[in-house]
Chains A and B, each alone.
Chain A
Amino acid sequence: MSTPILEIRRLNKHFGPTYANKNIDFTLKKGEIRGLIGENGSGKSTLISQIAGVQSPDSGEMLVDGKPYSPHSPIDAYDHKISMVLQELGVVGNLPVAANVFLGRTKQFTKYGILNKKKMNRAVAEQFEKWDLPMPPHGKQIGSMMIETRKLIELVRALSVDPDIILLDEITQSLSLNNREKLYELLKRLKDMGRSAILITHDVEEMIEITDTITVLRDGAVVGNLVSAETTPDEIKRMMVGREIEGDLYRSDQSASFDDEVVLSVKNMSVEGELEDITFDVHAGEILGFCGLSDSGIHSVGRAVYGLSKATPDSVYLKAKNLYIKNSTQALKNNVGYVPKDRDTEAMMISDSIRENFTMPSMNELTGPVGFVSPGEMKKLAREMVGKLSVKCESISQQVNALSGGNKQKINLGRWLAKDLKLLILDCPTRGVDVGVKAYIYTLMIEAKKNKIATILISDELPEVLGMADRLIVMKDGKMTGMLKRDEEFTEQAIIGVMI
């Protein structure tokens, strides 16, 4: 692990007056797994997207194997054996798995202009088998698949070019525990093969465990290069935010505490092909956690309760309002909020402004008697929330797609907190956010608990549900397999036991 494969020298990138990357220098060696960490908006994704050819640097140079490297597109990067799973890239929802993996590279399966689909399907199955990843349903359009499956398909697409360097931007947070383990194994294999990886994740402990070296970014600049085995989470956090972060992120009490009043009562709820016979109550001031391995159905629970999927009739009873939730409009009108896992696709209007995104769930409250929506009131609410949540933006008119992941998530969650909620459903609320924003989101959840809001917390992160939930429902294959209450025995081992 001594020969450099990628060298980055004095790389600069700015958007208008804002420096996204400032004089970045680092060297990636063969067989090295390097982590990139920093707060949201610190320039990690911008840096990695320049290496991937999605964006071009304003100045500076990159060398691959000692030769100048200036990619103009991800295809250029592929040609240099650099592949990626990035936030900017994605999948083509109306195509099946094989077409997504080999899109733009189908010549190898073409003879006399005719595409040999059998050969292409065989090749994709071989790739999934080679990397020991679960093969998704073969002929199905991947738009209908879960975000985790789509990320795995992107990962296989990146691996299928036999890369010397693989760039992974926040992939682990889309994966459930078992697939995350597979990814770690895969990285070890790549390392053994002399391949290199650059990995972005907001999970500091995970980064220390799976990387060799860590580059910490703050305000677009490198503030330190660390050897993973010689550093601590606290040191990294301190370097990321420029100050000491003390104490635990999660709630400190060790026992469940909530009111007797039942806010939501779910009885024998099923969703065809997704959930079977789900029954639970959520109380005022309670945080009810859901966890499970991939395909356990935890994410379907949120959608079904909020009325987004076709659940058993009269199975979701909002006791606080004395009604059965039938659809999302009814849920919204009756003080139920939902923060989905797939933020950019299912939650945000990413081409619209911060103002529109903040005010959309509160439209009923902002609309006057004759249907007039006061622009002044909209601005006032958006400004208040931007200030309260410290959203880093130019103005409330800025488009949401220009914001970093963490700031998007602040809007995604914060807009519900502007309402007088009875029930809040959170599906992976800290996915793709840094430690600072994470701590802030947990603070908001504790505040919501104090305000007697019932919260359903669905998460792929065991420490998160352990740290925040009063009670925890474990699921497997669309069914509930156990329920645990917050006490001294509320541990990862106990949960994994029920989970598996």
Chain B
Amino acid sequence: MQKELSVSRGEKRQNSVLIFLLFIAVLAVIACIVDFLTDGMFLEAKNAQVMISNSIYPTFIAWGLCFLFACGYTDLSLGGVVILGSFASCAFGNAFGYPGVILGGLVVGTLLVFINFNIFAFTKIPSWIASISLAMIYEALAVFLRANSATKKFIDVELSRDFRALGQFPVNLILLAACFVIVYFVYNRMSIGLNIQAIGGNKAVSKSLGVNIPKTLLLVGLICGLLIGASAVIQESYNVKTTALSGLASIQFIFKPLAIALLAQILQRWINIILVVPFCSLVIYAVFNVMTFFGIPSGTLQDVCLCIFLIVFGIIGQRGVKEVVK
């Protein structure tokens, strides 16, 4: 039986690699066709670079969402957290250089998401309700910081040209690769990853079997916070200035990452979710890039397409999902 087991494991791994290679091959073929249709503009080095750079910071948010979804939570305030993290990255970056850029975003991102998870874990308010309230608080705070004369001068400015490398190609790609290794191990190869997935599957059983639910949730908050903080750092380094949003408009920050995470959830039946997220991110941004090439207006029709993607991915992702078993 031992032999059979190792054979089936070997076959499974081989199949996963084959499926992954097939997935990449399909993407490459589609990219070539699109390139042909756009007279070679799609795969032009500059355009490819822009697509990759655009897709990196949402990848971090999508990874964060994967952790959230795995343990059965939703956080709609992440957009607000990214805005505040970007402000901190900009303000501290301009004051202290790269340490300020990195620590500013990471600390604020981690702190705020950690606060969110404390609220989810201890108040037992449904996370989507609590996070909408938190989103409004974070937006209000961002607007206040932007409007206040004492803080405006630090925030309403661009990040200095000397400290933008983290958002530029290929540094951003190297950062992505390094973070991928860490995130992959945490999610797939550490007890915390297993516990997170167990909580999402059946909280009561997990608790009975010795999984420390509050501790695990706080650790998810920490991991997710670090990812959102990293996203804020890269976003600020790439876009150089972030605008404060109000009236829950910050939620649009997580729309594309949400589509990415949902697409990754569909594909996780064949390819590891953490591995597939960066590719899904690239696919989503490539689709928008192509739409721009074809003259589909952004802000209206493109947003409609995004919402349709979200719904379609959501529907496919839920197909065949069984309820928790006891």
Contact = CB atoms under 8 A, between A and B. Distances in A.
A binds B: yes
A95 B194 contact: yes
B190 A92 contact: no
Given A91-B202, A91-B205, A104 B325 contact: no
A329 to B, nearest CB: 18
Contact of B189 (A117, A144, A345): A117
Q: Interface residues of B toward A: which range? A: 20 to 34
B96 interface: no
B197 A150 contact: no
Interface string A127-145: 0110000010111001110
A129 B1 contact: yes
A90 B202 contact: yes
A143 B201 contact: yes
A105 B210 contact: yes
Interface in B175-212: 185, 189-191, 193-195, 197-198, 200-202, 204-211
Contact of A93 (B191, B195, B210, B322): B322
Interface stretch (A30-38, A107-115, A223-231, A428-436): A107-115
A395 interface: no
Contact of A125 (B2, B194, B204): B2
Interface string B6-34: 00110010000000000000000000000
Given A107-B191, A125-B5, A138-B5, A93 B202 contact: yes
Contacts of B197: 92, 94-95, 99
B271 to A, nearest CB: 14
B201 A93 contact: yes
B202 A92 contact: yes
Interface string A443-484: 000000000000000000000000000000000000000000
Nearest to A74: B208
Nearest to A144: B322
Contacts of A138: 5, 8-9, 12
Contacts of B12: 138-139
A54 interface: yes
B317 to A, nearest CB: 13
A90 B325 contact: yes
A94 B8 CA distance: 20
Contacts of B45: none
A103 B209 contact: yes
Interface in A24-53: none
A249 interface: no
A139 B201 contact: no
Nearest to B185: A114
A105 B204 CA distance: 16
A90 B326 contact: yes
A493 B100 CA distance: 80
Contacts of B211: 103-104
Which DSSP category, helix, strand, loop or mixed, fits chain B's interface?
helix
A125 B7 CA distance: 13
Interface string A81-99: 0000001111111110001
Contacts of A125: 1-2, 5
A151 B205 CA distance: 14
B324 interface: yes
A143 B1 contact: no
Q: Name the residue among A115, A125, A129, A137 with the largest chain B CB count within 10 angstroms.
A: A115
Given A104-B211, A107-B191, A115-B190, A139 B9 contact: yes
A143 B210 contact: no
Interface in B307-326: 322-326
A121 interface: yes
Given A91-B325, A104-B211, A115-B191, A135 B201 contact: no
Given A89-B208, A144-B322, A121 B9 contact: yes
B5 A121 contact: yes
Nearest to B209: A104
Given A91-B205, A94-B200, A105-B210, A345 B191 contact: no
A128 B2 CA distance: 11
> Ordered nearest first, which 6 A-B pairs have the shortest CB separation?
A104-B210, A90-B326, A92-B201, A94-B201, A104-B209, A75-B210
22 contacts: A74-B208, A74-B210, A75-B210, A89-B205, A90-B202, A92-B201, A93-B324, A94-B197, A95-B194, A95-B197, A95-B201, A99-B194, A103-B205, A110-B190, A110-B191, A115-B190, A121-B9, A129-B1, A137-B8, A143-B322, A342-B325, A345-B323
Given A89-B205, A90-B325, A138-B8, 10 more contacts: A90-B205, A91-B202, A93-B202, A99-B198, A103-B195, A105-B209, A114-B185, A115-B193, A143-B322, A342-B325
Interface of B: 1-2, 5, 8-9, 12, 185, 189-191, 193-195, 197-198, 200-202, 204-211, 322-326
Interface of A: 54, 73-75, 78, 87-95, 99, 103-107, 110, 113-115, 117, 121-122, 125, 128-129, 135, 137-139, 142-144, 147, 150, 342, 344-345
